[in-house]
Amino acid sequence: MNNALEVQGLCKSYTDFTLDSVSFTLPAGRVMGFVGQNGAGKTTTIRCILNMAIRESGEVNIFGLDNQQDELAVKQELAAVFDEIFFVDTWRLREVEKAVKGFYSRWNSKLFGEYLSKFGLPPGKRVKELSRGMKMKLMLAVAMSHEAKLLILDEPTSGLDPVARNELLEILREYVADGEKSVFFSTHITSDLEHIADFITLIDHGKIFYTGTKDGLLEHFHSVKGNSAGSAGELPSIDEILVFISKGGQVS
Amino acid sequence: MNRVINATKLDFYASKSMLRMTSLLVIIGVVIGLAAHGPEYMMMFIMVFAVTSGGSVFSVHEKCHSDKLYGILPLKKSEMILGRYLYALIIGAAYAATGGILGFIMSMVTSGRLNALPYWATLAIAFAYFCFAVGVAYPIFFKFSFTKAYVFTMLPMYVIAVLFLFVTRRTDFTSGIGSAIKFFTAHVYLLPTFGLLAGLVLLAVSALIANLVYTRKEI
């Protein structure tokens, strides 16, 4: 199976935080939830993947290409959505396209127009006039219009109301439906992942606690913990597992 | 090269509304020129304000978290820097052209008191000054945030401009330069070339420094 994203032995130190040999693999066409509490190292890992932070050691490969040496080729293949919008707030939505389309070899203006229409985003509206949910949809529209094969989302649902969160998850489901596109989804709102993620990677204090299939995690935790937190016979939630880990429990 | 041009376009899109506002500063330059009865003051001040316009793009990008946008675009940091300096150069050229045309018109209106040598000398110095000011400011903006660095980078430029105004009014500025004046009097056409070259050299040195600073910086 081809891998969309491979992170091996990734290390990065700051004065008060260390990312300690982070390793995981996301197969192509799948969705991985990257879960950890605030400050666990999710954003630092993503910044290293995007080459926004310079790694000290380890490897990051995206579709087999090194994210530093082949940065330009890699960035044609990926898109990222953050918890806050990064477009100039005075731009009208049609100007967003003008500003970014020149950078992408596979930019599809027709597709962008279709996404704006589908997501209910008026092209004449300014970025600053959009609600938080609409801003998220705009970033997704841009991400999907250059036909990115890997979508990286950093806490996209934080601050969204339940309706907007559900809409976002629906968009992601459609995005991966063709089986060729992959999503790496960082969040601390674990309920988002219950239905959409195929794989889960758990991170705490800069260390990976578990990486593998979601079902494997739930079953493994169920047998380790005896499901004392949940109802008898039912698999635990990812939230319960996260709390368990934060209290010093071991999963892997 | 295409990516550098796209980066320059992105800067113009980003600063479009800010450029509209800062271009109004040209009016202040004209008012100063009229008050001081000298088109050379107007041309200088227009170029001082051009620095403000050139720096405004950093403020827009900072306000709108554009570092994240640059983090995901297929664009090398060095290309982004080149794009930004190309943006500055275009702004400088546009303001210099505006200042030059307005200076020429004012010179005509004020009975042709500004002849070729001081006209081209002022324009050359004004453009070189713009490049110097941008050359100082940009690497600092790349290293630190615009908000933190703005006062420290712009204040000295305004002081230099005021000192220039003071010196040129209190002294016979043009005759004091001696042999250079004689040379350029005989070769007036060289003055804009000199200003342009000096400015380009300053910007090139600054771009190299900015590249060193920014490529080591985490976005």
Tell me the pLDDT band of B176, cut-offs 50, 70 and 90. low
pLDDT at A92: 94
List chain A residues with CB under 8 Å of B10. 99-100
Q: Is residue A85 a contact partner of residue B65, using CB atoms and an 8 Å limit?
A: yes
Question: What pLDDT is recorded for position B148?
Answer: 76
Q: Is residue B219 part of a domain?
A: no
The lowest-confidence range among A211-215, A247-251, B28-32, B190-194 is: A247-251
Would you say residue B114 lies in a domain?
yes
Candidates A169, A126, A222; CA nearest to B16 is A126
Segment B53-86, tens digit of pLDDT: 888 899 899 888 888 999 999 999 999 999 999 9
Q: B25 versus B155: which is more confidently predicted? A: B25
Q: Is residue B97 part of a domain?
A: yes
Please indicate whether, in this complex, the C-beta atoms of A98 and B76 are within 8 angstroms of each other: no
Note the pLDDT tens digit of each residue in A96-129.
999 999 999 999 999 999 999 988 899 999 999 9
Beta strands A182-187 and A150-154 are parallel
Looking at chain B, which residue has its C-alpha nearest residue A153? B72
Q: Which of residues 13-52 of A touch B (CB under 8 A)?
A: 47, 50-52
What percentage of chain B reaches a pLDDT higher than 70? 91
Q: Give the pLDDT of residue B90.
A: 95
Tokens 């450029």 -> residue? B19
Buried b (16+ CB within 10 A) or exposed e, A123-157: eebebeebeebbbbbbbbbbbbbbbbbbbbbbbbb
Tell me if B161 is assigned to some domain. Answer: yes
What was the pLDDT predicted at A89? 92
Mean pLDDT score across all residues of chain B: 84
Identity of the residue numbered A112: F
- Could you give the dihedral angle defined by the CA atoms of residues A82, A88, A91 and A92, in that order, rounded to the nearest 10 degrees? 10
Backbone Cα Rg of chain A: 18
- So what's the pLDDT on residue B173? 61
Mutate to test the interface with A, among B6, B69, B214 (most CBs of A within 10 A): B69
| A-proximal residues of B, 57-86, CB under 8 Å | 60-61, 63-69, 71-76
B9 and A87 within 8 Å at the Cβ level: the answer is: no
> Residue B174: pLDDT above 70?
no
CA distance A201 to A199: 7
**Residue A143: both structure tokens together:** 């991400």
Q: Which of A81, A88, A191 is nearest to A145 (CA)?
A: A81
Q: Residue A140 has which token pair?
A: 């997704």
Which distant-in-sequence residues (6+ apart) come within 8 Å of A104 by Cβ?
A76, A146, B74
Which of A 41-100 lie inside 8 A of B, CB atoms?
47, 50-54, 71-73, 75-76, 78-80, 82, 84-91, 95, 98-100
pLDDT at A169: 86
Range scoring the smallest mean pLDDT among A37-41, B12-16, B89-93, B151-155? B151-155
Domain limits for position B28: 2-214
Provide the edge-to-edge strand list for the sheet that holds A3-14: A17-27, A3-14, A57-62, A65-66
Best probe of the B interface among A56, A90, A151, A155, by most B CBs < 10 A, is: A90
Supply the pLDDT for residue B65. 86
Q: What is the structure's pLDDT at B80?
A: 95
CA distance A103 to A76: 8
Q: B190 or B104: whose pLDDT is higher?
A: B104
Calpha distance B107→B102 (Å, rounded) = 8
Using the beta-carbon criterion (under 8 Å), do B76 and A91 form an inter-chain contact? no
- Residues in chain A, pLDDT under 50: 229-230
Q: Structural domain tally of chain B?
A: 1
Q: What is the pLDDT of residues A134-166, one digit of tens each?
A: 898 999 999 999 989 999 999 888 777 888 888
Whether chain A has a CB inside 8 Å of the CB on B217: the answer is: no
On the question of pLDDT at B96 being above 70, the answer is yes
The model's pLDDT over B35-59, given as tens digits with 9 standing for 90+, comes to 877 888 888 889 988 988 888 899 8
